Amino acid sequence: MSGFFAILAQLEAAGTDFALCTVTDSHGSTPRKPGAKMAVLADGTIFGSIGGGALEFQVIRDAQKVLHKRKAQRFTHALVQDHGMCCGGSIEIFIEPIMAKKQLFIFGAGHIGRALAEFASRLDFAVTVIDERSEQTALLQAEGLRLLNMSHLVAFEELNFTPDCLVCVITHDHAYDREIVAHCARQPHAYLGMIGSQRKVEMAKKIFLAANTLTEEEMAGIDWPMGLPIRSQTPAEIAISILARLIDVRGALEPDLAHRFRKEF
């Protein structure tokens, strides 16, 4: 793998959004030819080059806008007229946003947690499974999963909660579930769900209110019992009902990308 593509792989592994700028066409004298690439981060940091000078400065600004809008766009530059460059030619640059995989934190590696982790990893979620029971996480088969064999209380310090992360609570202990929900509800997140019966949910709400742990408003944002209300029974079916909800949330976070995928497939 070349140095540039190795950098792109590192950015993706780190969960960093970036815009990929590619020269797709050129006429006359231009600093770079079709195929030249540059990656631009949201703060303007660049890797690679599409020509330098006033052209590159403008492309960086365009790339930042593309990242903000999350929508690919094609730009044409006449180097003399637009940028006062002596080259004299014209160049076309395609800029596409490369959005990091959405972080999915699954607390609990039981039957449902394992099924959810394996399904979600195939659908481009960046999955972290947290369970202190190493014998359970050892049963996970999917590649690319991040496994934290530790107490959820310790894991809280290891996880980076962001406004677009998703959290599923599926542990083997109701008290653990409540502790995790109470903590995560007050962290940045796009989705928080807890598994369980309606009775389990109502009991958790009463406990939270009595202890002043969470407010009614904070609890209103929790998906519990989580998942779509389909007639699911097996662990795999329940995991699919949860995954369907996660896909819907992710689609709402990236509406332009979701629309594009529906058109392509």
Of the candidates 65, 89, 244, 70, the one whose C-alpha atom is nearest the C-alpha of residue 166 is 244
Q: Is the CA virtual torsion 154, 159, 163, 168 positive or negative?
A: negative
- Dig out the tokens for 231 from the structure: 């007639």
Of the candidates 208, 204, 185, 187, the one whose C-alpha atom is nearest the C-alpha of residue 196 is 204
Going along the chain from its start, the domains and CATH numbers come out as: 3-98 (no CATH), 103-258 (3.40.50.720)
**Residue 255, preceding peptide bond in cis (omega within 30° of 0):** no
Block residue for tokens 């530059």: 77
Q: How far apart are CA 120 and CA 227, in angstroms?
A: 14
Residue pLDDT, tens place only, 112-135 = 999 999 999 999 899 999 999 999
Name which of 86-95, 105-114, 227-236, 256-265 the model is least confident about. 256-265
Q: Please tell me what DSSP assigns to residue 124.
A: T
- Average pLDDT of the residues of the chain: 90
Block residue for tokens 């310090």: 157
DSSP string of 221-232, one letter each residue: TSBSS-S-----
Q: How far apart are CA 93 and CA 73, in angstroms?
A: 9
Q: Is the CA virtual torsion 39, 40, 41, 42 positive or negative?
A: negative
Q: How far apart are CA 164 and CA 190, in angstroms?
A: 5
Burial 11-33 (b: 16+ CB within 10 A, else e): bbeeebebbbbbbeebeeebbbe
Residue pLDDT, tens place only, 31-84 = 899 999 999 999 999 999 998 888 999 999 999 999 988 889 999 998 877 786
Across 84-130, the runs of DSSP E, i.e. the strands, are 90-98, 103-107, 126-130
Yes or no: say if 247 and 123 are a contact pair by the CB < 8 Å rule: yes
